[in-house]
Amino acid sequence: MDIIVCVKHVPETAEAELKIDATGKGIEKAGLVFDINEWDDYALEEAVRMKEKFGGTVTAITVGPEDSESTLRKCLARGADKAIRLTDPKFASSDAYATAKILHSVIKNLHFDLILTGAQAGDDGSAVVGPVLAELLGIPHATMVKKIEFTNGKAIVNRELEGGLEERLEVKLPALFTVQTGINEPRYVSIMGIRKAMQKEVKVMGLADIGLSENDVGEAGSWLRIEKLYVPPVEKQTEFLKGSPDEIATKIVEILKSRGLI
């Protein structure tokens, strides 16, 4: 089974302080740690497990600048066989739609039985690239997938709905699935894996190599044009409890007492 996994190199922002940059349309990237998008980590693991079970190849593909190479290296170390990086100054400001078109221009020429993407990218949270890519390729898709099985050339997948409910679908192959977290337990990278990955090649392609025009990519090829970024207004004014841990604990106890909670 030949599987393509789309991966995005994203900043880890849960604990980082974010600053809006001088243009007002992006964040300052300096000082942020980048890694594989959380959802893509599960997608890659799922692909590698399928390869281990059924044979075939796993190709990791990203649209991103030079530093996203580290995410591809990670994929190679974890069991991907090939890696492709699509990069061009003209790709800057591409939204999820333009990104899907860029991925499509290359993937349409590759052999695959299955394409996996993350359910969403942790930075933009669009949840758009996967289904648009499936539409451009003319193959069926399912999003937020939590389980994938195969029977007679078809896939049976569990999709996550709200509130703990799931639905089971039968999907014809080749297909594209967007993977939800928790589908598996991603493995750690082994030293062996890292060594092997060093020998594998990352293929780099630009706009001239993929047969798209300038108008298909970047802001011109996007649905969305960012006007400005700003800090979200607070919904509820929190009262910050300050002091040493001991003082804070005392304050919490007082609050709980006054509310009759202890």
Partner 1 sequence: MAEIFVLAEHRQGQLRDITFEMLTKARELAEKANAEPAAVILGKNVKDYAKNLADYAKKVLLVEDEKLENFNSEAYQKVLSHLIKDYKPLLTIIGHTSYGVELAPRLAAALNIPLATDCIDLAFEGEAFTITRQMYSGKVNVKAALRKSESYMVTVRQAAFQAQKPPTPLNGQIVEVPSPLTEEIVTKRFLEYVLPPPGGVDITAAEVLVGIGRGIKDQSNIPMVEELAKTLGGVLACSRPIVDKGWLPSDRQVGTSGKTVKPKLYIALGISGAFQHVLGMKNSDLIIAVNKDPKAPIFSFSDYGVVEDLFKVVPVLKNKISDLKAQKGIA
Ligand X SMILES: Nc1ncnc2c1ncn2[C@@H]1O[C@H](COP(=O)(O)O)[C@@H](O)[C@H]1O
Ligand Y SMILES: Cc1cc2nc3c(=O)[nH]c(=O)nc-3n(C[C@H](O)[C@H](O)[C@H](O)COP(=O)(O)OP(=O)(O)OC[C@H]3O[C@@H](n4cnc5c(N)ncnc54)[C@H](O)[C@@H]3O)c2cc1C
The site for ligand X (CB under 6 A) is made up of 6-8, 37, 39-40, 62-64, 96, 99, 103, 117-118, 120-121, 124-130
Element (H, E) at 103: helix 96-107
The CB-of-130 to ligand X minimum distance in angstroms stands at 5
Residues 5-24 that bind ligand Y (CB under 6 A): 14-15
Select 15 or 66, whichever has its Cβ closest to ligand Y.
15
Binds partner 1 (CB under 8 A): choice among 54, 125, 149, 211: 125
- Residue 24 or 125 having the CB closest to ligand X: 125
For 117, the 3-state DSSP assignment is strand
> How far is the C-alpha of 129 from the C-alpha of 173, rounded, in Å?
19
Which of 183/210 has CB closer to ligand Y? Answer: 183
Question: Phi and psi for 202 in degrees, rounded to 5?
Answer: -105, 120
126 contacts: CB under 8 Å, gap ≥ 6: 95, 96, 120
CB of 116 to ligand X, least distance (A): 8
Measured between alpha carbons, how far is 247 from 134 in angstroms, rounded to an integer?
56
Answer yes or no: are the C-beta atoms of 10 and 34 closer than 8 Å: yes
Out of ligand X, ligand Y, partner 1, none, which partner does residue 83 contact, by CB within 5 to 8 A per kind?
none
| Region 240-259 residues binding partner 1, contact defined as CB under 8 A | 240-241, 245-246, 248-250, 252-253, 255-257, 259
Positive or negative CA dihedral for 203, 206, 212, 215? positive
Nearer CB in complex with ligand Y: 114/119: 119
Q: Which amino acid is at 240?
A: F
Output the smallest distance, CB 67 to ligand Y, in A: 22
